[in-house]
Amino acid sequence: MKQELRVAAYAVCVQDGQILLARWVARDGTKRWTLPGGGMEHGEDPRDTVVREVEEETGHTAEITALLGLDSVRRRYPRALGLSADFQGLRIVYEGRITGGTLRPETGGSTDLAAWHPLGAVAGLDRVELVDVALRLWRERPSVGHVVGEGDGHRAGRGEGPAVGTGPAPATGR
């Protein structure tokens, strides 16, 4: 079984009672709302990663104001030639403040839309579980950067992360 580790950084940007989200498009075409963010490039600082990803996915420039915490997920999925992969995603969650730019969708990436959503409406959105984890981190601000009952490494999530199928996992999967 091939082991895969993906480290990614995401931003919780809340302004005037609304949260900035990007709509992630899975390999199978399923669309779910997620936080702006994504995978770290080799040698890149995670703060630089999240600032870059917010701009790429939403058109906004952001300033990081706090480290909210970490979240880890683990999934197994089939690969080509009857093999399987043991995937772990380590997600670094920051609080961000929008400092400029103009809201626009990403072009040629893993998301197809960016939008501000009222915090009270998030529960009704088709979203990845990272949104819920990150909002708990943002609201509760746990001293250990981990919310109770989350991040045990074995959550099934809401279909996010590498798509179940053959071939390599997408580099920008949520």
Express each pLDDT in 99-129 by its tens digit: 999 999 999 999 999 999 999 999 999 999 9
Give the C-alpha separation, 12 to 169, whole Å.
25
Residue 4 token pair: 């895969």
Cα-based angle 38, 172, 21 (whole degrees, multiple of 5): 50
> According to the model, what pLDDT value does residue 174 have?
54
For 1-20, the pLDDT digits (tens) are 889 999 999 999 999 999 99
For 36-48, the pLDDT digits (tens) are 999 999 999 999 9
Cβ(13)–Cβ(96) below 8 Å? yes
Radius of gyration over every alpha carbon of the chain, rounded to an integer in angstroms: 15
Cβ neighbour number for residue 129 with a 10 Å cutoff: 20
Residue 88 token pair: 């772990």
Burial of residue 17 (CB within 10 Å: 0-12, 13-18, 19+) is exposed
Q: What is the mean pLDDT of residues 56-64?
A: 98
Range of lowest pLDDT (34-38, 65-69, 165-169): 165-169
Q: pTM (2 decimals)? A: 0.84
Q: What 3-state class would DSSP assign to 85?
A: strand
> According to the model, what pLDDT value does residue 155 have?
41
